[in-house]
Amino acid sequence: ANFSERVVESFPSDLSGVYCGWACVGNGDVHKMVLSIGWNPFYKNIKKSVETHIIHTFKDDFYGEILSIVITGYIRSEKNFRSSEALISAIQEDIEEAKRQLDLPEHLKLKEDNFFHLPEGKTVNH
């Protein structure tokens, strides 16, 4: 799930790397996630992007839904890769590291934060 340019521009300009945390689509369940913030050097992006990988399989797509995230931990700095296979391997390692970190008590407690529970009929404009 990628954030719009407007949302990306609201992130601190010096923030980049791979992070973990919690994500919620709409008023659904809260799931573990990995977040990449940066320019994706392997793809030679010229614009900064914020890409969320929710560690959950959804039965339907969720285009147009509100995506709420809480970043709770740092995994690694942004880096380039020699091949798509190396990139895929790093992503898989990032997912495993996120799962490990997010099972720690200091991260687990944030899964239940009121931030994820919007009052019925309310939306967040960020």
The two three-digit tokens of residue 124, written as one number? 């967040």
Closest CA to 50 of 61, 64, 42, 40: 40
Strand order in the sheet with 49-54: 49-54, 30-38, 17-25, 67-76
Helical ranges in the chain per DSSP H: 5-10, 84-102, 105-111
- Segment 22-68, tens digit of pLDDT: 999 988 899 999 999 988 766 677 788 899 999 999 988 888 888 89
Segment of 9-13, 43-47, 92-96 carrying the highest mean pLDDT: 92-96
Kindly list the distances between the CA atom of residue 54 and the CA atoms of 31, 34, 110, in Å, as whole numbers in the listed order.
7, 7, 16
- Segment 68-79, tens digit of pLDDT: 999 999 999 988
**Catalytic residue selected from 5, 51, 93, 97:** 51
Specify the length of the chain in residues.
126
pTM of the model: 0.85
Three-state SS at 1: coil
Which class in CATH covers the domain with range 5-116? Answer: mainly beta
Kindly list the distances between the CA atom of residue 18 and the CA atoms of 13, 52, 71, 98, in Å, as whole numbers in the listed order.
15, 10, 10, 10
| Domain range annotation of the chain | 5-116
Helical ranges in 5-122 per DSSP H: 5-10, 84-102, 105-111
Beta bridge partners of 2: 51
Active site residue 78: no
